Amino acid sequence: MSYQVLARKWRPKTFAELVGQDHVVKVLSHGLEQGRIHHAFLFTGTRGVGKTTIARILAKSLNCLEGISPTPCGVCDHCVAIDEGRFVDLLEIDAASRTKVDDTRDVLDNVQYAPAQGRFKVYLIDEVHMLSTHSFNALLKTLEEPPEHVKFVLATTHPQKIPVTILSRCLQFNLRRLTVDQIAEQMTEICKAEGFEASTEALRHLAVAADGSMRDGLSLLDQALAAEDALSEGNVQEMLGSVEQRHVQGLLQALAGNRPGDAIAIIDEVFSQARDMRQLLGDLAEALHRIGLIQQLPDYRDDSRHDWDELVALASKFDPEDVQLFYQITVTGREDLKLAPSEKTGCQMTVLRLFAFQPSTPGMAPSADGSGQGADTRMDGATASTEPPTTGTLDLVPDSWSDVLDTLPINGSVKAVAGLLVVSSVTGNKVHFSVASDDKILITPRFQETLSKALSAHYGLDVRAVVSAVDHQDQQTPAELAHQEVEAAQSDAQAAIESDPVIQKLKKRFDATVVPESVRPVDTRSH
């Protein structure tokens, strides 16, 4: 007897066997029980989630010899014939190969004829979005006035490509992507039933690689079992070319400790194991994504992986803006691997870029060993000093904050956030700032530390900046003042152009008009 692949052997034959689509099963079952059966159904969703499977179960429910029911018997001639793909009243049509209008007409011309065996003729049109415009028009005419003995079941991965006239005549169901747990649990049951040995970690790796598709997951399981009767985590990782979790954790630890040498050593080890460099960067980006969620969402928790506690600990070692920057560099570097001389060098340069572009605190000089734990160097103009300032006067007032900000030794991103602040009060050597509640997420511990050191360097004092969120700002922020200045300069420039004698002559002689967007004020600050 020939071997039957797991995806076909374990294809659900009843609604009860379906995984992850309870919302669809509930509606269909209720309609079948009540005898309220629509003439056209549309199932949408990614590959391998059960679109055509549900269509075949629906065909059995409609044509079972035991009667219309959400629980077909599965053993009568009609049910068996549908399961074996030889039921003449179930017409499965691949729209990708029948895009011409003549192909569609050949099928639809027989709609008017009564079923040969069953109660209903069921037309299953897979990838229906591939039909041509003329074919859609031919189908629409049939859907507008369908015979009582005909049911249409349409399936597609791209519902947005289907004309709205077709959509409006169908009962629509969106099938969900399956979770890692759902796929892993189904694989576990299948392995038990088939007598295969497989570790929980191995099946979980396969479930993650399935990317929401049960069919893809079972195909991967078939591939893994072709090489090994007993599946281990190592064997599956080798087959998938995936990266061990310890490597990703090692990269994050090296990044947190500013140890580029350790990071390069990890890349060398991954490469020596013939693992996929794209997968390494992809896993790193995913870990950074989860760290970002941990930092921004207090109630967030994801136990689908085994590294939750490690990620929580790492989340406390990174500032949120660092995580966003690291994520962007990683995903961009992953896409750029194809441009690199080799995947290894491309991966190395991407990881080194993470260290090179780490936001640094102004005045922090790197140590000789590259750890970034050097002396606290404060900048006063263009002169560096390792001694903390101890003399000076903190004469900062709300109205002078905008002018002071222009002179502070801080980079563009920090200055942009500082431009959203308003000076509330000054107490001793402590400056109290306020920020609008909507911008509170931008105020990180690192930002406040950076601003404090910049103010200290400016005033020659140990200044501490404290930022509090408020619902309403009484003072205008430097950003608002700068915006007003830009608008005023733009208005003056437009007025100057309009009043220019040459422009006046051009307008009068050629009926010309000045395009406001083309006028730019001259920046005299650099002169």
Q: Spell out the domain ranges in the chain.
A: 6-174, 180-240, 245-356, 383-475, 483-518
Pairing of strands 40-44, 90-94: unpaired
Quote the pLDDT of residue 54.
92
The number of angstroms, rounded, from the C-alpha of 210 to the middle of its chain's C-alpha atoms is 16
Quote the pLDDT of residue 362.
40
DSSP lists the bridge partners of residue 172 as: 42
DSSP lists the bridge partners of residue 122 as: 90, 151
Which class is 6-174 in CATH?
A: alpha beta
Are 418 and 458 spatial neighbours (Cβ–Cβ below 8 Å)? no
Torsional class of 389: left (φ above 0), alpha (ψ -120 to 50), beta (otherwise)? beta
Residue in 313, 315, 316, 321 with CA at minimum distance from that of residue 360: 321
Quote the pLDDT of residue 372.
41
Give the count of beta carbons closer than 10 Å to the beta carbon of residue 219: 17
> Residue 324 has which token pair?
């966003």
What are the backbone angles phi and psi of residue 352, rounded to the nearest 5°? -65, -30
CATH assignment of 383-475, among 3.30.9.10, 3.30.1600.10, 3.30.300.150, 3.40.720.10: 3.30.300.150
Q: What fold characterizes domain 245-356?
A: Zinc Finger, Delta Prime; domain 3 (1.20.272)
Round to whole Å and give the CA distance between 410 and 363. 10
Round to whole Å and give the CA distance between 28 and 417. 54
What are the backbone angles phi and psi of residue 213, rounded to the nearest 5°? -110, 120
Quote the pLDDT of residue 173.
92
Are 423 and 398 spatial neighbours (Cβ–Cβ below 8 Å)? yes
Reported pTM: 0.57
Residues of the chain under the 70 pLDDT cut: 1-2, 98-104, 241-243, 303-306, 358-381, 383-392, 517, 519, 522-527
Residue with the two structure tokens 């003995």 = 149
CATH assignment of 180-240, among 3.40.630.30, 1.10.8.60, 3.40.50.2000, 3.30.300.90: 1.10.8.60
Q: Using DSSP, state whether 302 is helix, strand or coil.
A: coil
Round to whole Å and give the CA distance between 508 and 180. 72
DSSP lists the bridge partners of residue 378 as: 385
Round to whole Å and give the CA distance between 62 and 498. 77
